[in-house]
Amino acid sequence: MAFFGLLAGILAANWPCLRVEASTTERVVTNRYSGLAIEGFDPVAYFTDAAPTLGRPEYEAAEGGAVWRFRNEGNRAWFIANPEIYGPRFGGYDPTDLVRGVTCAGNPRFWVVAGNRLYLFNREKSRDEFTADPSRFLKDAEARWPELEESLAQ
């Protein structure tokens, strides 16, 4: 066992692609193995391209305890300057679940930009319910979010 532990330590130290530049957090939806926020999708592309677009490893930034990927340097620069605008609201948790008092990670493929903020949903049905009456969901989700956010690990 000690041999395998030593071998893993040597590989991690000498193989840069295995390292994650930021520690993970539960306050932003991240992949617990890679540390990538929103599964590596470019958060700025939802605004500029109106589509979920996978980011590229050469355009990464560490912010809020997560590693974010972008499709180009321009999107990376926009995010670094304004993470509170381009990062998904509620850290990427589904606002319809927040209303019920539950933190459930949103899926980057089910999304809406509303009121100049990005919202992710864990299923298509939740997204459709939200788009039918965003103001109702947002009012209740905003009220519940501080308590739920506090219960998430930093």
Mean of per-residue pLDDT scores for the chain: 85
- DSSP designation for 30: B
Q: Against a cut of 0.85, is the pTM above it?
A: no
Segments in 15-133 forming alpha helices (H):
45-48, 73-81, 83-86, 95-99, 124-132
Whether the per-residue pLDDT at 21 is higher than 80: the answer is no
Domain coordinates of the chain in residue numbers?
21-151
Backbone angles phi, psi at 93, to 5 degrees: -80, 150
Backbone angles phi, psi at 75, to 5 degrees: -65, -40
Name which residue leads in pLDDT, 31 or 125. 125
At residue 22, the pLDDT reads: 39
In this structure, of 8-12, 82-86, 110-114, the range with the lowest mean pLDDT score is 8-12
Of all helices (H) and strands (E), which one includes residue 68? strand 66-70
Average pLDDT over residues 82-96: 95
Whether the per-residue pLDDT at 96 is higher than 80: the answer is yes
At residue 19, the pLDDT reads: 33
Whether the per-residue pLDDT at 72 is higher than 50: the answer is yes
Report the DSSP beta bridge partners of residue 54.
Answer: 41
Name which residue leads in pLDDT, 149 or 2. 149
Nearest-angstrom CA–CA distance, 53 and 62 = 18
At residue 25, the pLDDT reads: 54
**Residue with the two structure tokens 């030593």:** 6
CB 61 within 8 A of CB 76: yes
Q: Identify the band that residue 153 occupies on the pLDDT scale cut at 50, 70 and 90.
A: low
> Taking CA 105 as the corner, what is the angle to CA 123 and CA 25, rounded to the nearest 5 degrees?
165
Average pLDDT over residues 92-105: 94
Q: Can you list the pairs that 53-62 forms with residues at least 24 positions away whose Cβ atoms lie under 8 Å?
A: 60/21, 62/21, 62/22
Whether the per-residue pLDDT at 10 is higher than 60: the answer is no
Average pLDDT over residues 10-23: 37
Burial of 134 (0-12, 13-18, 19+ CB in 10 A): middle
